[in-house]
A and B are shown apart, each in its own frame.
Chain A
Amino acid sequence: MSILAGKKVIIIGDRDGIPGMAIEACAQSAGAEVVFSSTECFV
């Protein structure tokens, strides 16, 4: 069973890791619906 297809996805990206918008593109390509995407910054 797939993890992402048809699921509501919440994205917590990281400015010094993978930013939210980049993860968004990946999630959408897997058939997930992105309901929230944010990028955190620790510096």
Chain B
Amino acid sequence: MKSVIKGAGYILVHTPDMVLHNGTTQTTERIVNPESEYLKELPSHIRSFDQALSYWPNQVYIGNKHPDELAEVAQPWCDKACDVSDRFGPFGQMMPQEEFLLLMQACDVFGLVKLEQGFADAHRAALAANPIMDETILARIPEAQTAGEEIARLVNEEHSEGLYHNGALVGCVNRAHDIDVNLSAHVMHENLVSKASSVMALLSAVKNAGIAKEDVEYVVDCAEEACGDMNQRGGGNFAKSAAEIAGLANATGSDARGFCAAPAHAMIEAAALVASGAYKTVVVTAGGCTAKLGMNGKDHVKKGLPIMEDMVGGFAVVLTQDDGVSPEVNLDMLGRHTVGTGSAPQAVISSLVTNPLDKHGLKITDIDKYSPEMQNPDITKPAGAGDVPLSNYKMIAALAVKRGELQKTDLATFPVKHGLTGWAPTQGHIPSGVPYIGFARNDIMAGKLNRVMIIGKGSLFLGRMTNLFDGVSFVIQANTGAEKAEAGVSEDEVKGMIAKAMKDFAATLLAQAE
């Protein structure tokens, strides 16, 4: 059986106040250097929602612009307004902070999110008007909210994590336990943001795939947060928690973790679950990460740039059994970085790119497009991390030259022909290969591309449990329709043929008897 990509959803949430209050670069600075110039300068570098809407990479993320169009725009992009500034796009949407705070409350099942009455009343209608929202989700937001004084008291006296909008305290997330740090207000805030953005992605993907919510049988969450209590710190299960709010009543699920490589792992697992027949429809989902908001803010502020890491990201991909038209995941062409691969960049790239191709006698140039780590270079270049996707393409091209599959003179054109310009926010797992799946599906179905490779890489060493690196890759290809052709005769037809043969046989017997 084959598994196909039925649809994808991509969402962003503009969270300027969370940059200031929840991004680790800022929270760390506030501890070690509370009077720093950076903290004083930072607020004047925050973008408005309108600026976030007209930011080129954001419009690509939600599908209003194609990566090929972005590649035509000269960098930097932060000083250019995109000619499209719609909030909604074919893949999903950009949600403003005020609506998202209400959605966070809708996603809270433990009464932890408190909103100021006036704030909730002012923005409830806006969330209700959101096309992916329904009555069930909206009904989860209580009519009676909290007084401003009580919220201030909770933040000042009860360790609650403040929720801010335009610099004002408009709510808070309470701790879920007085002693357990795993249920602290900070952790609950981080996890509720991840969950709420995952819910948005799930709802968008299910809608885009044109399936019913009831069809979803399994959800895999591949974000980078952990939920649990002191007795099971990473107990999970974000997947099922988000599926519950999204109304996927027939789904169960589980969490897959692996730093930035997790989405690629999850995609392979989901494709295998469908291909094995275990579940007919599986959705891979991930919400975003508050910790990484403003991660490279110091460099951006120093260089007079806006804070571009102000978007929480989310994505979801729906995988189903073969429909005869949607692009398929080729489970026979998987790349994997193993324990024995080592960390030499060329060994890493070989394990992920050429090993699976070699198995099928394919050359590096036989893959139309590679989607490794699609971080937006507008963010990473000023921060000293370079152009991450471009570095990946240079490595793949260098390997192709070494293997004699590419002329050295074609090194410079390889990233243009087989690569993409990065557009995804630096939300760790969010940019990791998967932002391209939506475009890849469209372009393969339009006959523009035949084969694309999605590559996920993960910095496992950050968890201090291993010094190893990690990564897996998989290929999405045009639907070969082979199963349909092979099937040729359906089960019903076979039954019909047998019945006819039996009838004929019986008739013959009867005739003979007569």
Question: Are A and B in direct contact (Cβ within 8 Å)?
Answer: yes
Q: Which residues of A contact B (CB under 8 A)?
A: 15-22, 25, 37-39, 41-43
Given A16-B386, A39-B343, A43-B380, 4 more pairs with CB closer than 8 A: A16-B388, A21-B469, A43-B388, A43-B428
Q: Flag if A43 contacts B345 (CB, 8 Å).
A: no
Q: What per-residue 1/0 map shows which CB atoms of B353-388 lie under 8 Å from chain A?
A: 000000000000000000001010000100111101
Could you list some 11 contacts between A and B, CB below 8 A?
A: A15-B459, A15-B469, A22-B342, A22-B345, A25-B344, A38-B461, A39-B343, A39-B469, A41-B462, A42-B380, A42-B384
Give the B interface residue count (CB, 8 A). Answer: 24
Q: Which residues of B contact A (CB under 8 A)?
A: 260, 295-296, 342-345, 373, 375, 380, 383-386, 388, 391, 426, 428, 431, 459, 461-462, 467, 469
Closest 10 CB pairs of A and B: A21-B343, A42-B385, A19-B343, A41-B459, A22-B344, A15-B459, A43-B426, A43-B375, A22-B343, A39-B461
Closest A residue, CB atoms, query B468: A21
Q: Flag if B459 contacts A39 (CB, 8 Å).
A: yes
Chain B interface secondary structure, helix, strand, loop or mixed? Answer: loop
Closest B residue, CB atoms, query A17: B386
- A residues less than 8 Å from B344 (CB atoms): 19, 22, 25
Interchain nearest-CB distance for B28 vs A (Å): 15
Give Cα distance in the complex from A2 to B332, angstroms.
Answer: 50
Closest A residue, CB atoms, query B386: A16
Q: Flag if B467 contacts A21 (CB, 8 Å).
A: yes
Interchain nearest-CB distance for B304 vs A (Å): 20
Q: Which one of A15, A17, A39, A43 has the highest number of Cβ atoms from chain B below 10 Å of its Cβ?
A: A43
- A residues less than 8 Å from B431 (CB atoms): 43
Contact of B383 among A15, A20, A22, A42 (CB under 8 A): A42
- A residues less than 8 Å from B295 (CB atoms): 42
- A residues less than 8 Å from B385 (CB atoms): 16, 42-43
